[in-house]
């Protein structure tokens, strides 16, 4: 079962691997990222950063489209899905993946991005992708850590 679908450009890190894992009692992390999936060095680093008690899978977008439906039905897996950008979410949804709620947790500053929250910087493309997902019925919430107050992320845009 999918517990959290999160946009976080750092992918696997302490807030997710400890904070969200513990709050949701997750036992599985799924990273959907074409670059990490294709790079053995990056895969190894990510595998080393995941806690020992979390199963970690790293899929390309293509693999995720094939495997996410069965993972979401697996009652033994309590999964947190991590993607780097809203664009990846849009690609997955466009290929038939059902997502009810999206957590926007962290997107670092880069040139052309404006600060939206203390941990989220977006450019016009990011904003359009998020709004497009919302128009498709996906609830967009903003929280960095599970103890933060849940908020409607669209109100910040």
- From the candidates 13, 28, 62, 91, give the one annotated as an active-site residue: 13
Rounded to 10 deg, the angle between the 86-94 and 124-135 helix axes is 40
DSSP per-residue codes, 61-76: HHHHHHHHHHHHH-TT
Comparing CA positions, the residue from 110, 82, 74, 85 lying closest to residue 20 is 82
**Whether 13 is catalytic:** yes
| Complete edge-to-edge strand list for the sheet that includes strand 28-32 | 55-59, 28-32, 79-83, 2-8, 101-106, 139-142, 151-152
Active site amino acids: 13
């Amino acid at each position: 079962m999918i517990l959290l679908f999160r946009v976080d450009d750092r992918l696997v890190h302490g807030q997710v691997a400890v904070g969200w894992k513990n709050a949701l009692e997750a036992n599985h992390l799924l990273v959907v990222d074409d670059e990490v999936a294709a790079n053995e060095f990056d895969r190894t680093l990510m595998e080393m950063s995941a806690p020992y008690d979390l199963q970690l899978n790293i899929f390309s977008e293509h693999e995720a489209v094939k495997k996410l439906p069965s993972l979401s039905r697996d009652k033994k897996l309590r999964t947190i899905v991590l993607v780097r950008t809203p664009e990846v979410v849009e690609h997955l949804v466009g290929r038939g993946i059902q997502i009810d709620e999206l957590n926007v947790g962290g997107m670092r500053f880069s040139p052309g991005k404006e600060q939206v929250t203390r941990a989220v910087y977006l450019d016009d493309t990011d904003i359009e992708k998020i709004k497009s997902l919302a128009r498709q019925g996906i609830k967009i919430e903003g929280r960095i850590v599970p103890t933060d107050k849940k908020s409607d992320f669209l109100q910040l845009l």
